[in-house]
Structures are given as structure tokens and as C-alpha cells.
Amino acid sequence: MTETPAPQVAPWPDKPLAVLVIGAGFSGLAMAIRCRQSGIDDLLVVEKAGAVGGTWHENTYPGAACDIPAHLYALSFAPKSDWTRTYAGQPEIAAYLRELVERFDLTKHVALSTAVTGAVWDGARALWRVETDRGPLEARVLVSGMGALHHPAVPAIPGLHTFLGPLFHTSAWDHGVALQGKRVGVIGTGASAIQVVPAIAPEVGRLVLFQRTPPWVVPRNDRPTGPRMRALFRRLPVARRALRGVQFWLREAQAALGFTRVSGLTRLAEAASRRHLRQQVADPALRAKLAPPYRLGCKRVLISDDYYPALTRPNVTLEAGAIRNLTPDGVTMMDGSHHPLDVLVLATGFDVTASLARVPVVGRDGLILARAWGERVAAHRGVALAGFPNFFMLLGPNTGLGHNSVVLMIEAQVEYVLACLAEMRARKLAAIEPTPEAQARYLAELEARLSGSIWQQGGCASWYQDAAGRNIALWPGTVVAYRRSLREPDWSEFVLTPA
Ligand SMILES: Cc1cc2nc3c(=O)[nH]c(=O)nc-3n(C[C@H](O)[C@H](O)[C@H](O)COP(=O)(O)OP(=O)(O)OC[C@H]3O[C@@H](n4cnc5c(N)ncnc54)[C@H](O)[C@@H]3O)c2cc1C
């Protein structure tokens, strides 16, 4: 009788690791793969969920899909030829990320169901002492891939918790709740809502969509990728690379031509979006409710071909008034009207700084990360932080994108971290961290570029901004410019501490 081999699990390290990565989404997996390819095997990725995938493990709501073409929303060093659509759905992306573990032999480097609860820099031993809910770990280098769109932003609506029916956030979809024939409320009209609403509208009894601000929506043009095309990409990788290149440069051109500012391109895109609305919504009253009162690009531009049509269905109501409170059986509006509901979905997005700020990370001389970020959430080149030696962030402050795939940013950052690790080895360094001066210089340049950006000048408030209205989420330029700024680390920007 052949014995079933025991599943391979990461052994718990009993000595300091070379590299500890927190989170197994795109960021953590990319870091782990490139570490191993660079000869760093003394590596562990800790992931609090029971599976890898991050965003794509968690967001299983109906209609969940990427809004960047799948070939571009994949790691350049781990391509996939057989995406079944232009914009892949969540199951396909989650499967892709799970497959990376096997494809790159990472199983023994990934500890699932392990949450990091704190990390303290031990200057005397030049290592990070990391607390997890499975026990302590030590590592010379700590890399955060904890994700920005991870902690739900729960709106402060009076009476939220008095609602007696099922209530859940899109990122924690309760698949046990049957929606057929039910009265369902969806709060929010961002990227998740515009995917959820068309997906559930045909099956629910009534759907009330609560809108605070209408989004700009442009055509999506999603298509299935047929077997012939997939076979072509498999046999002829150059064809897939060419398509990815076209998709990349089309988006880069948008940023280069002024997508990040109020420009001629803004006016053109606004005209295209208004045309899309006119073509899909005949009712002038509904159209008026759907007209955004700010410039296109100020908030995330949404792509959809079925959102507007869903809102014209007889069983769907767009409620554009202000919510007063929730009651046990529904939502009451400021004008006193009431929407009785059976189920309420919060499509209210995420608290972008919560992942890192919620974990106590203590750097040199007892500096607490949440306090270092008291003035402004910031990082040197979006990756490293003065006062926090041997600590790197992937998809850190101001490195998200409004126009292109963030996977490109993650890859650039991973290479930057690898360059730092190589320098540490070559010069036999105990520690590396950016100088406060270099970080302040970088931040000043960033702020100068952001101040004229569409996110600040476009007449809206968005989740890109902190409480003081500063954009802490997005990179104000092209991916090419960001890559260039990371390509050759300038060692004069760092404090290099010899072993
Ligand atoms: C619905 C949705 C659609 C999106 N679509 C696109 C798109 O089309 N194009 C695009 O460019 N971007 C998109 N994004 C942004 C997306 O988040 C990023 O593209 C990418 O998935 C981020 O990967 P990540 O690994 O940095 O973070 P995440 O995927 O968030 O992964 C972070 C991981 O860290 C783990 N973690 C967090 N804290 C701890 C802890 N204390 N201890 C241990 N583990 C921890 C989490 O469990 C999670 O697995 C989308 C986001 C959402 C929510």
C-alpha cells in the first residue's frame, strides 16, 4: 500500500532567518520567488489567512475581477498563457497565485494561518524580533507585504449594528446567505460595488444602491479569450509578451499625456464617459443622479459595461440621498423615507493605512511606526523608512496607481530590496536604513508633484487621501519613472552600519 505523503509545511525556524516576509499576496509571493531565484533560501513568508492570495483570496464577492488586463496583472517572471478573459475573474487570479507556490517550490517557505502581532528591532543583535500568534521569530531583514486594501473601511452610520438581517463587507462575502428574491441594500459605489451590483441584480427581489458620490465609468470591453488565442500564447510566448507590452504602453501613455493632472486628456475621457452614460441610460433623471460632480481621475476611474444597465432594471433603485441611520429592518434616509431590507452589503472600500499601523512595529531607539507616521504616512521611495533598519515595505505609501497594474510597482520594489540585500552581503553590513534627510528630500519632491495632481485639484475627496486631505496612496507619475528611481539605489541615501 502506498502511503499518502504528508502535506509539506514550513518548518518553524529555531534560529534567525535571513528574510522574513509578512503576507502572501502578490507582494509577499513576488518577494519570496525573487529571493529564492537570487539564492536566498533562508526565508519564511508568514500569512495570517489559511491560504495564499491576499486580496484575491479574500474578495470572493459575486462579479469580483481585476480591472487591469490579466496578462498585465500577472508577475512578469511568472506569466500565464491561458487567462480565459481579458479581465480575469477572482477564482482565476486566486488559482494563479496558489499555483505560484508549487511552480516556484515555495511550500516549505510559507507558514499559513500565522499572524504577525508585533515586531521590535534589536539593535544590539541587529535583527528583528517578531511576535506571531504561533510563537516568536527572528530575522535579519523584515519585509512587509501586508497589503493596503485589506482592512474594511466601515462607515460610521448611526445604528449600523442594530440591523437584524445579514450584514457583511464585500471583502468578507457571506456565501451562506441566499439572495434569491431578497431585498438587498448595497452601500457604496466604488470599484467593488460596480462589480457586485450587476452580478446580483438579476437574482435579488429588490436592490437598493446607496450612492454618496457617483463614479466616472468608462467602457470595459471585456472579452473571453478563446482556445485558439490561448494556444497561440502558449506556443508563441512572444505574442503574449507583445500583447502585454501594448497593454502596458497604452496605460503609460495615459499617465505621460497628463492623466494624473487636469488636462486635455481629462476632457476627452470625460466626454467618452458621458457618451457611455447616455448610450446606456435613457432616463434623464437617473442620468442626472449618475453625473459625477468632480473631474475624471480624481477618484478611481471605474470600468464597466454592465453597471449602468443594471441600474436601469425595474428591480433596482439608485438612492442618491443621504443616509440618516440604520434600523433593525432597513435604512432610513435624511428625508424620512425608509428602505426595508433583508440583507445589507457594505461596498465601502478599505482603510489604506490600517495593515501596518495596526501592528506595533518598533524600530531603532523605541521609535513606533504608527508614531513615526503621526505627521504623515511616508516612506523613502515608498519602500524603506528612516529609523527602521532592515525593514522594507512592498506597495507602501504613495506607490499605488490610478492608471496601470500595481504588480509592476511591486516588482520594481522587490528588485530594490534585493539590491539592498546584495549590498549588505557585499559590504558585510549589519544594517541599512534611509537617512532622514534623503527621506525628507524624497517626500518634499513627492508632495510638490502631488499638489498639482488631479487627486488634489479635481474637486473630490477620496480614499487616496488622509484625514488632512494629503494623497498618501498614489504615485504621481509613470511606472517607467518609478522604476527608474529605484533601478540603481543611491547608497548615499542610506545609513550603512557595518557588521
Ligand atoms: C477587489 C479588488 C480588486 C482589485 N483589482 C486590482 C486590479 O485590477 N489592478 C490592480 O493593479 N490592483 C487591484 N487591486 C489592488 C490589489 O490589492 C493589489 O493589486 C494586490 O493584490 C496587492 O497585493 P499585496 O500582496 O500587496 O496585498 P494583499 O493582496 O492585500 O495581501 C496582503 C496579505 O498580507 C496578509 N497580512 C496582513 N496583515 C498580516 C499580519 N499581521 N500577519 C500576517 N499576514 C498578514 C493578508 O492576510 C494578505 O494575505 C484590487 C484590490 C481589490 C480589493
Kindly give the number of the ligand 1 atom that is closest to the alpha carbon of 115.
Answer: 42
Q: State whether the beta carbon of 27 lies less than 6 angstroms from ligand 1.
A: yes
Q: State whether the beta carbon of 326 lies less than 6 angstroms from ligand 1.
A: no
Q: Can you tell me the mean pLDDT for 325-337?
A: 98
* Nearest C-alpha neighbor of 406 from the set 24, 140, 148: 148
Q: State whether the beta carbon of 90 lies less than 6 angstroms from ligand 1.
A: no
Strand partners, 130: 119, 137
CA distances from 118 to 88, 134, 144, 358, 416 (A): 35, 12, 12, 9, 25
Q: Can you tell me the mean pLDDT for 207-227?
A: 96
What residue's CA is closest to ligand 1, atom 19? 406
Report the C-alpha gap between 345 and 209 in whole angstroms: 10
Q: State whether the beta carbon of 149 lies less than 6 angstroms from ligand 1.
A: yes
Q: Based on the number of CB atoms within 10 Å of its own CB, is 209 exposed (0-12), middle (13-18) or buried (19 or more)? A: buried
- Answer left, alpha or beta for residue 54, where phi above 0 means left and psi between -120 and 50 means alpha: left
Q: Can you tell me the mean pLDDT for 233-259?
A: 92
Q: Based on the number of CB atoms within 10 Å of its own CB, is 368 exposed (0-12), middle (13-18) or buried (19 or more)? A: middle
Q: State whether the beta carbon of 132 lies less than 6 angstroms from ligand 1.
A: no
- Model pTM score: 0.95
Q: State whether the beta carbon of 73 lies less than 6 angstroms from ligand 1.
A: yes
What residue's CA is closest to ligand 1, atom 5? 66
Across the chain, mean pLDDT equals 94
Q: State whether the beta carbon of 29 lies less than 6 angstroms from ligand 1.
A: no
Centre of ligand 1 from the C-alpha of residue 152, in Å: 12
Decide whether 17-151+351-498 matches 160-216+260-346 in CATH topology.
Answer: yes
Q: State whether the beta carbon of 406 lies less than 6 angstroms from ligand 1.
A: yes
Q: If DSSP states are collapsed to H, E and C, what string results for the chain?
A: CCCCCCCCCCCCCCCCEEEEEECCCHHHHHHHHHHHHCCCCCEEEECCCCCCCCHHHHCCCCCCECCCCCCCCCCCCCCCCCCCECCCEHHHHHHHHHHHHHHCCCHHHEECCCCEEEEEEECCCCEEEEEECCEEEEEEEEEECCCCCCCECCCCCCCHHHCCCCEEEHHHCCCCCCCECCEEEEECCCCCHHHHHHHHCCCECEEEEECCCCCCEECCCCCECCHHHHHHHHHCHHHHHHHHHHHHHHHHHHHHHHHCCCCHHHHHHHHHHHHHHHHHCCCHHHHHHCCCCCCCCCCCCEECCCHHHHHCCCCEEEECCCEEEEECCEEEECCCCEEECCEEEECCCECCCHHHHHCCEECHHHCEHHHHCCCCCCCECCCECCCCCCEEECCCCCCECCCCCHHHHHHHHHHHHHHHHHHHHHCCEEEEEECHHHHHHHHHHHHHHHHCCHHHHCCCCCCCECCCCCECCECCCCHHHHHHHHHCCCHHHEEEEEC
Indicate the residue type of 84.
T
Centre of ligand 1 from the C-alpha of residue 46, in Å: 14
Give 168 or 467, the one with higher predicted confidence.
Answer: 168
Report the C-alpha gap between 103 and 32 in whole angstroms: 12
Centre of ligand 1 from the C-alpha of residue 290, in Å: 29
Give the pLDDT confidence score for residue 5 in this predicted structure.
Answer: 47
Q: Which of 232-241, 304-313, 316-325, 355-364 has the lowest mean pLDDT?
A: 355-364
Q: State whether the beta carbon of 453 lies less than 6 angstroms from ligand 1.
A: no
- The pLDDT confidence band at residue 255, using thresholds 50, 70 and 90, is confident
The CATH topology of domain 17-151+351-498 is: FAD/NAD(P)-binding domain (3.50.50)
Centre of ligand 1 from the C-alpha of residue 24, in Å: 9
What residue's CA is closest to ligand 1, atom 15? 149
Report the C-alpha gap between 54 and 21 in whole angstroms: 13
Give the pLDDT confidence score for residue 354 in this predicted structure.
Answer: 66
Give the pLDDT confidence score for residue 445 in this predicted structure.
Answer: 95
Give the pLDDT confidence score for residue 2 in this predicted structure.
Answer: 42
Q: State whether the beta carbon of 59 lies less than 6 angstroms from ligand 1.
A: yes
Centre of ligand 1 from the C-alpha of residue 148, in Å: 6
Q: Which of 259-263, 297-301, 400-404 has the lowest mean pLDDT?
A: 259-263
Strand partners, 432: 496
Centre of ligand 1 from the C-alpha of residue 385, in Å: 21
Q: Can you tell me the mean pLDDT for 223-245?
A: 96
pLDDT tens digit sequence for 394-436: 999 999 998 999 999 999 999 999 999 999 999 999 999 999 9
What the block records as the C-alpha cell of 257 is: 499625456
What residue's CA is closest to ligand 1, atom 45? 23
| Residue 258 confidence (pLDDT) above 80 | no
Q: State whether the beta carbon of 290 lies less than 6 angstroms from ligand 1.
A: no
Centre of ligand 1 from the C-alpha of residue 470, in Å: 22
What residue's CA is closest to ligand 1, atom 25? 25
Q: Which of 215-224, 377-386, 452-461 has the lowest mean pLDDT?
A: 452-461
Q: State whether the beta carbon of 47 lies less than 6 angstroms from ligand 1.
A: yes
Give the pLDDT confidence score for residue 256 in this predicted structure.
Answer: 82
CB 315 within 8 A of CB 206: yes
Q: Which of 7-11, 109-113, 357-361, 473-477 has the lowest mean pLDDT?
A: 7-11
Report the C-alpha gap between 153 and 464 in whole angstroms: 13
Domain extents for the chain? Answer: 17-151+351-498, 160-216+260-346
Q: State whether the beta carbon of 412 lies less than 6 angstroms from ligand 1.
A: no
CB 393 within 8 A of CB 27: no
Centre of ligand 1 from the C-alpha of residue 252, in Å: 22
| Residue 352 confidence (pLDDT) above 60 | yes
Domain 160-216+260-346 classification at class level: alpha beta
* % the chain with pLDDT above 70: 98
Q: State whether the beta carbon of 46 lies less than 6 angstroms from ligand 1.
A: yes
| 485 phi, psi to nearest 5 deg | -70, -15
pLDDT tens digit sequence for 125-139: 999 999 999 999 999
Q: State whether the beta carbon of 116 lies less than 6 angstroms from ligand 1.
A: yes
Q: State whether the beta carbon of 25 lies less than 6 angstroms from ligand 1.
A: yes
* Nearest C-alpha neighbor of 479 from the set 208, 76, 43, 5: 76
Length, in residues, of the chain: 499
| Residue 10 confidence (pLDDT) above 80 | no
